[in-house]
């Protein structure tokens, strides 16, 4: 006997990076179970894989692996908001004494993608050269931020992986046609001011953001805490 299937609501949103429309649904009990198991394991890679799997199952998107970090964070937040409630509970440390912890409830629909007005994908390195950057995937971003490699080498590797085109007065060079060695040499040939522009690109990338105000019960002082990135809300 074939049992009836339950109706699942469908919603629409837009990717922060491109504005492309995306259809999505809440995650089901089977997907919530996967998320719980990943959180229980405490392994970063398990959490990443599960989040991507949920997005693949709950949206009409193809090629989730190619989405930027903040697109994945935003989509997961939208799915979770429609799935398990309108608020998330967090525990934060009050900055005024750096020791007192406070529980707080954050409305999920108030968490937004923060876009820095200084952020730009096209970086003018000099009067003749413009570098166009793409965004790192979630896998790439985590790999660069959770390893023991030299920090400068990580930035070089991340920049080389995200570079899309280099334009000068003669032509447009596609970075996918260049070797990793050639790209690394290009970035190593920059002066400190130019390299600072590359670092600023990554520092100012769009990200989930929420400004939380809490009162320290010991000092009675109000604290403002800036929470950024998915881990701040679901860590």
Kindly report the pTM of this predicted structure: 0.75
DSSP letters spanning 176-220:
GGS-HHHHHHHHHTS-HHHHHHHHHHHHTS-EEEEEEEEE-TTT-
Does residue 149 surpass a pLDDT of 60? no
* Overall number of domains in the chain: 3
Per-residue pLDDT of 42-69, as tens digits, reads: 777 787 888 888 999 999 998 888 888 8
Q: Helices 138-145 and 151-162, interaxial angle, to 10°?
A: 170
Q: Is residue 196 part of a domain?
A: yes
Model pLDDT for residues 179-206, shown as the tens digit of each residue: 988 998 999 999 999 999 998 998 899 9
Establish if 101 belongs to a structural domain: yes
Predicted pLDDT at 123 = 96
Answer whether residue 73 is part of any domain.
yes
Alpha-carbon distance of 39 to 33, in angstroms, equals: 10
Q: What is the pLDDT of residue 65?
A: 83
Separation of alpha carbons 76 and 195, rounded Å: 32
Looking at per-residue confidence, does 92 or 151 come out higher? 92
227 and 195 inside one domain: no
State the chain's maximal CA–CA distance in angstroms: 72
| Phi, then psi, of 167 in degrees rounded to 5 | -115, 130
75 and 137 share a domain? no
pLDDT band at 141 (very low <50, low <70, confident <90, very high): low
Task: Give the pLDDT confidence score for residue 108 in this predicted structure.
Answer: 82
203-217: average pLDDT: 92
* Domain interval for residue 214: 89-111+206-235
């Amino acid at each position: 006997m074939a049992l009836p299937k339950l109706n699942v609501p469908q919603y629409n949103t837009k990717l922060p990076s491109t504005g492309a429309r995306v259809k999505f649904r809440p995650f089901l009990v089977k997907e919530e179970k996967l998320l719980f198991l990943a959180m229980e394991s405490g392994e970063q890679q398990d959490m990443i894989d599960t989040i991507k799997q949920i997005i693949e199952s709950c949206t009409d998107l193809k090629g989730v692996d190619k989405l930027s970090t903040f697109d994945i964070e935003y989509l997961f937040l939208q799915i979770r908001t429609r799935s398990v409630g309108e608020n998330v509970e967090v525990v934060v440390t009050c900055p005024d004494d750096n020791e007192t912890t406070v529980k707080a409830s954050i409305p999920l629909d108030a968490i937004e993608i923060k876009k820095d007005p200084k952020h730009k994908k096209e970086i003018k390195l000099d009067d003749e050269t413009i570098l166009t950057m793409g965004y790192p995937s979630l896998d790439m971003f985590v790999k660069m931020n959770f390893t023991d490699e030299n920090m400068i080498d990580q930035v070089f590797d991340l920049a080389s992986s995200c570079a899309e085109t280099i334009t000068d007065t003669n032509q447009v060079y596609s970075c996918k046609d260049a070797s990793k060695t050639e790209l690394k040499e290009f970035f190593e040939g920059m002066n400190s001011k130019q390299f600072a522009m590359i670092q600023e690109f990554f520092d100012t990338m769009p990200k989930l953001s929420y400004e939380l105000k809490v009162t320290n019960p010991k000092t009675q002082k109000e604290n403002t805490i800036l929470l950024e990135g998915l881990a701040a809300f679901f860590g």
